[in-house]
């Protein structure tokens, strides 16, 4: 394995082992030190001196064994054979999701109105169930058990519908920005080297979708992942799909977190409420390094360019937003590092699996993930940069649409 590949594999974003429970997505797991559950919420476990540490993704509560295909947009063409291309990796399966897929394909500007209609229907169904629940208290024992089971099934269906509404809105925001989502990753037959990153390069457009302060932290995030190869984007690395998926999922969550704190930062900046100097000591902004990864993965070796794990923090540059975040107390920091809804967690899991594919892994008796049989893919560092930028943007958009929908149909856990 060359140093370029080692740089990707040994990113602090990557988990080193997972839970003994083999169910659910291996891209998202909360069994490690990087994430934690608070009730049904998911948190990035952040410390005031370790803002960008992501050791492990979170454990999914469901098993997504079914292959999800992308929904397809037919591109207009003067010929009879109209070409087609996917606009998102994940196929929407609920009636509302399929309806929104058609709107996205044919009339994307009408998606907000269609979403309003679907949310009104969800609210009507939820209100109706609440009224029925009040009248069910007088039912006999057997009937009330059946009623509760039916109510549970309806609630699960509403949750799935809500997930797909949120996903459709995220996809629409990418379409508005004129940035196509990366399709499901498979080796390209048109590339003799077998590289998977044959997608369009939209790096500049993705960078422009964020505030200057937020992009400073995104750049630091890229430096952590790409290491010294951040300026050499043509080199190609071979890496397992599992590792790529874990980087992608963690980057989505990081984008969600960044948008949340940047929103507060921009508001306080506009109202001139920011403390002078940013409110924090820059000396406290060093990144806490993960445990010695080389002992867990001896095949990894050194980082690209000879940068050791202990020296990885040198890639982090001071930024005003970072200083602002470091002024938070630990409780506020953890609250902002929380994925607020089960639906948001579900979207991250399903989208990542639809994009990367289901990894082929084995859980050893010691609870360690054996990914030796997982498919290896070839990807350039430029392709990895594009992938991570998309993931961070996806998380940022997810925060936006989650807040927008919650104002009309309350579902976020406070």
Residues 6+ apart with CB under 8 A from 128: none
pLDDT for 57: 34
Query: In this structure, what token pair is assigned to residue 103?
Result: 């709107």
- What does the alpha-carbon distance between residue 300 and residue 307 come to, in Å, rounded to a whole number? 13
pLDDT for 2: 47
Residues 6+ apart with CB under 8 A from 172: 104, 108, 111, 112
What is the rounded radius of gyration, in angstroms, for the C-alpha atoms of the chain? 22
Range from 67-71, 122-126, 188-192 that averages highest in pLDDT = 122-126
More confident residue, 246 or 148: 246
More confident residue, 380 or 143: 380
Q: Say if residue 309's pLDDT is above 50.
A: no
pLDDT for 388: 95
Q: pLDDT tens, 261-298?
A: 999 999 999 998 887 654 444 444 333 333 333 333 32
CA 404 to chain centre: 18
Residues 6+ apart with CB under 8 A from 77: 83
pLDDT for 192: 67
- What does the alpha-carbon distance between residue 167 and residue 160 come to, in Å, rounded to a whole number? 11
Q: pLDDT tens, 178-230?
A: 999 999 988 765 566 778 888 888 899 999 999 999 999 999 999 999 887 88
- What does the alpha-carbon distance between residue 328 and residue 368 come to, in Å, rounded to a whole number? 35
Cα of first residue to Cα of last residue in the chain, in angstroms, is 46
Q: pLDDT tens, 153-185?
A: 999 999 999 999 999 999 999 999 999 999 998
Q: Say if residue 367's pLDDT is above 50.
A: yes
CA 156 to chain centre: 22
Quick one: which H or E segment has residue 342?
helix 342-356
Report residue 138's pLDDT band, with 50, 70 and 90 as the boundaries.
low
Collapsed DSSP state (helix, strand, coil) of residue 72 = strand
CB 15 within 8 A of CB 32: yes
Quick one: which H or E segment has residue 215?
helix 212-226
Please provide the average confidence, as pLDDT, over all residues in the chain: 74
pLDDT for 148: 81
Q: Say if residue 409's pLDDT is above 90.
A: yes
């Amino acid at each position: 394995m060359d140093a370029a590949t080692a740089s990707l594999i040994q990113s602090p974003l990557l988990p080193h082992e997972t839970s003994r429970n083999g169910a659910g997505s291996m891209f998202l797991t909360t069994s490690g030190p990087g994430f934690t559950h608070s009730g049904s919420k998911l948190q990035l476990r952040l410390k005031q001196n370790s803002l960008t540490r992501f050791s492990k993704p979170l454990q999914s509560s469901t098993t997504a064994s079914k292959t999800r295909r992308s929904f397809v947009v037919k591109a207009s063409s003067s010929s009879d054979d109209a070409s087609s291309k996917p606009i998102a990796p994940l196929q929407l399966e609920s009636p509302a999701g399929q309806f929104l897929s058609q709107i996205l394909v044919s009339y994307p500007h009408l998606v907000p109105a269609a979403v309003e209609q679907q949310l009104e229907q969800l609210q009507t169904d939820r209100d109706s169930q609440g009224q029925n629940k009040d009248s069910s208290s007088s039912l006999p024992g057997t009937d009330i058990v059946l009623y509760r089971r039916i109510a549970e099934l309806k609630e699960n269906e509403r949750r799935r519908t809500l997930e797909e509404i949120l996903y459709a809105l995220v996809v629409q925001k990418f379409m508005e920005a004129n940035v196509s989502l990366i399709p499901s990753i498979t080796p390209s037959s048109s590339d003799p080297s077998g590289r998977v990153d044959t997608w369009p390069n939209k790096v500049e457009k993705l960078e422009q979708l964020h505030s200057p302060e937020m992009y400073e932290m995104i750049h630091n995030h890229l430096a952590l992942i790409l290491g010294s190869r951040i300026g050499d984007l043509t080199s190609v690395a071979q890496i397992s799909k599992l590792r790529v998926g874990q980087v992608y999922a963690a980057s989505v969550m990081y984008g969600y977190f960044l948008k949340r704190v940047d929103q507060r930062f921009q508001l306080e900046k506009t109202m001139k409420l920011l403390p002078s100097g940013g409110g924090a000591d820059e000396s406290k902004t060093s990144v806490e390094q993960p445990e010695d990864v080389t002992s867990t993965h001896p095949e990894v070796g050194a980082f690209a360019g000879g940068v050791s794990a202990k020296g990885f923090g040198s890639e982090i540059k001071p930024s005003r937003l970072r200083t602002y975040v470091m002024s938070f107390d630990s409780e506020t920091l953890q609250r902002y590092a929380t994925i607020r809804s089960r639906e948001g967690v579900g979207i991250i899991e399903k989208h990542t699996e639809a994009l990367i594919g289901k990894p082929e892994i084995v859980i050893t008796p010691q609870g360690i993930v054996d990914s030796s049989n997982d498919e290896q893919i070839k990807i350039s560092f430029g392709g990895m940069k594009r992938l991570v930028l998309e993931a961070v943007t996806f998380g940022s958009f997810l925060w936006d649409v989650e807040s927008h929908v919650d104002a009309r149909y309350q579902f976020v856990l406070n």
